[in-house]
Amino acid sequence: MVKEEFGFGMLFAGVLTFSLLLLILFLFFKMLDTVYLSWFKRPAWVHFYLYKNKLSESQKAILRKNSNFYNRLSSAGKSRFEHRLQCFLSDKEFISRQDFVLSDKHRLLVGATAVMLTFGMRKYILPILEKIIIYPKEFYSTIGERYHKGEFNPKLKALVLSWEDFEEGFNIEDDNLNLGIHEFTHAIHLNSINRSDTASTVFSDGFSELLRLMRNEDLVADIKNSGFIRDYAFTNEFEFLAVVVENFIESPSEFKRQFPSLYKKIQQMFNFRFAGY
């Protein structure tokens, strides 16, 4: 009887010690992560998966045929991309409008745009976004009371796209016009506000630094005079970010050459080297 009680006591003490050790280890790594983030302005690690989801062969074939970003990744990068895309797609509800017939290709290419943009971030699901609504063409928006090609509505947690314009932006990769990149940048930006996870902190701190940089009137004048970034960027700070990210993804080398300080801030926010990977 005494022996049994002693055994239980030992077991309890062992479990308690082990739990405490785990907690200390967890707090230690969390502290290291925070220190690393504040020193280097980027996460100590981005990808870590105990189990990786996979796409079907037909889904991978769609990516191979359509996504240059996916094709340029290493085989390890491809498997991370596939895992993230699978998780992203299963988290979002896709809705079609005006008899648009949704297929796997539509879902994959829209999701691939989000996963590409967030590939340098630890968190990529974007809880602010629940629904992706696709129209065949431009649609009448009650928000702006005019026809839109796309919009992100944080109240409805919905990203709305005209497929015709999304596809054009997706296929033409060097004209600095990309509807998917533009709207997902709005979603990532709004998702980062008031969140304290690593990805959101890197993004929102970088955005604050970007706004400070843009107080330099000479730089703003140079950007406006260059014609490199379209005028719509100067509508407000949200549109500025969404437009410059289109340039950042589609003309990275030119962007880096013309406006290195601005380029560096965007690269810091997304934690990814799109120019040269």
**Is position 134 an interface residue for Zn ion (rule: CB under 5 A)?**
no
Minimum distance between the CB of residue 49 and Zn ion, rounded to whole angstroms?
32
User: Nearest residue to Zn ion, using CB?
Assistant: 242
Please identify which residue in the block is written with the tokens 């719509």: 232
Closest CA to 93 of 159, 31, 154: 159
Minimum distance between the CB of residue 86 and Zn ion, rounded to whole angstroms?
28
As a whole number of angstroms, the distance between CA 113 and CA 121 comes to 14
Phi and psi of 259, rounded to 5°?
Answer: -135, 70
Cβ contact 212:227 at 8 Å: no
From CA 249, how far away is CA 263, in angstroms rounded?
A: 10
Residue 242 C-beta: closest distance to Zn ion, Å: 4
Residue keyed to tokens 């004209």: 175
Nearer to Zn ion, 178 or 271 (CB): 178
Q: Which C-beta is closer to Zn ion: that of 108 or that of 132? A: 132
* Of residues 205-244, those binding Zn ion (CB under 5 A): 239, 242
**Cβ at position 239, least distance to Zn ion in Å:** 5
Q: What gap in Å lies between CA 211 and CA 238, rounded to an integer? A: 11
The residue (of 181 and 262) whose beta carbon lies closer to Zn ion is 181
DSSP state of 1: -
Closer to Zn ion by CB, 108 or 129: give it.
129
Selection from 149, 242, 150 nearest residue 190 by Cα? 242
Least distance (Å) from Zn ion to the CB of residue 199? 21
CB of 165 to Zn ion, least distance (A): 13
Total binding residues for Zn ion by CB under 5 A? 2
The helix/strand/coil state of 151 is strand
Question: Please, which of residues 165-184 interact with Zn ion by CB under 5 A?
Answer: none
Q: Which is nearer to Zn ion, 86 or 191 (CB)?
A: 191
For Zn ion, give the closer residue by CB, 46 or 233.
233
Q: Give 176: exposed, middle or buried? Use CB within 10 Å, 0-12, 13-18, 19+.
A: buried
Binding site for Zn ion (CB under 5 A): 239, 242
